[in-house]
């Protein structure tokens, strides 16, 4: 009897969990990822604030699955899925990976509510490259402030605006003043890093909307004790170089703006070559891309993907 073939797209938490759960299954598993490493995303904000190095929160996918004999790891980007032929098409030498079962676990990416032109100005925090770019801007702001010729310019470089009061925004806004006011304080001669201003903007009525209200209130109190300015019911209206404005008619002159708001499915999710014959199931989601329920598969149905 031919062994079953399982293809997994994505080496994040979901993809790795699926692969490791299937380690004792009599099947050939192929895990495909566009990078060769797994990223521990919950600590990415510490890379962005220079508290950790990128190597501290990444590990090679091959190393993680090195003892799993039924699993092959491939480096490549999926360009399409042909559900009628049951093959995954890679960008590398037109390679095709056949499958009987398919798991698509490509993760999510930050979204800008239709304003993609904001991304170069206010980068998000999802990939390791996002973390290193944010770290570069964060540290460079203090270097520019050290060289500033007047107080207005200096204050602009010492002002950081974070958009989005979810877990990432809260962690990031809490880490920035601690790094600035403690770790960096003795390193500069012409600026006082304790004057760093961190502003957290949230469009909703409170931060951490997916958490219990009591925990969100404690988190806001902790941030305010650190000196973070938490502004709720403040939706971003526009973002321009060195400016951030919201619907409450405030405007801040800032050197670094960080985006940790709305997320969407990863834009690299492949297209299906045969939409009419595709038998892939997706769980229903809310506006925050959280699954509302598990997808159901009919008994006796042919192999499908999810």
* Active-site position among 171, 213, 224, 225: 171
Beta strands 243-246 and 236-240 are: antiparallel
In the block, tokens 């490509």 appear at 106
Residue 219 φ/ψ, nearest 5 degrees: -65, -40
CA nearest 162: which of 108, 239, 222?
A: 239
Cβ–Cβ contacts within 10 Å for residue 165, how many? Answer: 28
Give residue 20's Cα distance to chain centre. Answer: 23
CA atoms of 38 and 60, how far apart (whole Å):
6
Cβ–Cβ contacts within 10 Å for residue 251, how many? Answer: 13
Q: Which helix (H) or strand (E) holds 157?
A: helix 151-157
Catalytic annotation on 119?
Answer: no
Kindly state the tokens that stand for 43.
């600590």
Q: Catalytic amino acids?
A: 171
């Amino acid at each position: 009897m031919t062994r079953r073939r399982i293809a997994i797209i994505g080496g994040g938490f979901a993809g790795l969990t699926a692969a490791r759960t299937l380690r004792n299954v009599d099947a050939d598993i192929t895990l495909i990822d566009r990078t060769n490493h797994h990223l521990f995303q919950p600590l990415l904000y510490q890379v962005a604030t220079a508290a950790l190095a990128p190597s501290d929160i990444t590990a090679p996918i091959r190393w993680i699955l090195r003892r799993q004999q039924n699993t092959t790891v491939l480096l490549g980007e999926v360009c399409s899925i042909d559900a009628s032929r049951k093959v995954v098409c890679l960008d590398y030498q037109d390679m095709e990976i056949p499958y009987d079962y398919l798991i698509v676990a490509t993760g999510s990416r930050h979204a800008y509510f239709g304003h993609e032109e904001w991304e170069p100005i206010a980068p998000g925090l999802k990939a390791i490259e996002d973390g290193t770019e944010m770290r570069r801007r964060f540290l460079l702001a203090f270097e520019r402030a050290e060289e500033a010729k007047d107080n207005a310019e200096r204050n602009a470089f010492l002002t950081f605006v974070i958009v989005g009061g979810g877990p990432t925004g809260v962690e990031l806004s809490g880490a920035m003043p601690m790094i600035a006011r403690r770790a960096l304080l003795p390193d500069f001669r012409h600026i006082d890093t304790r004057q760093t201003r961190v502003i957290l903007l949230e469009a909703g009525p409170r931060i951490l909307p997916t958490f219990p209200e009591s925990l969100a209130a404690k988190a806001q109190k902790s941030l305010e004790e650190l000196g973070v300015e938490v502004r709720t019911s403040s939706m971003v209206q526009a973002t321009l170089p060195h400016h951030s404005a919201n619907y409450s008619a405030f405007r801040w002159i800032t050197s670094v703006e960080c985006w940790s708001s709305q997320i969407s499915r990863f834009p690299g999710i492949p297209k299906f070559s045969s939409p009419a014959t595709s038998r892939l199931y997706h769980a229903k989601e809310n506006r925050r891309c959280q699954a509302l329920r598990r997808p159901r598969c009919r008994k006796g149905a042919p192999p499908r993907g999810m």
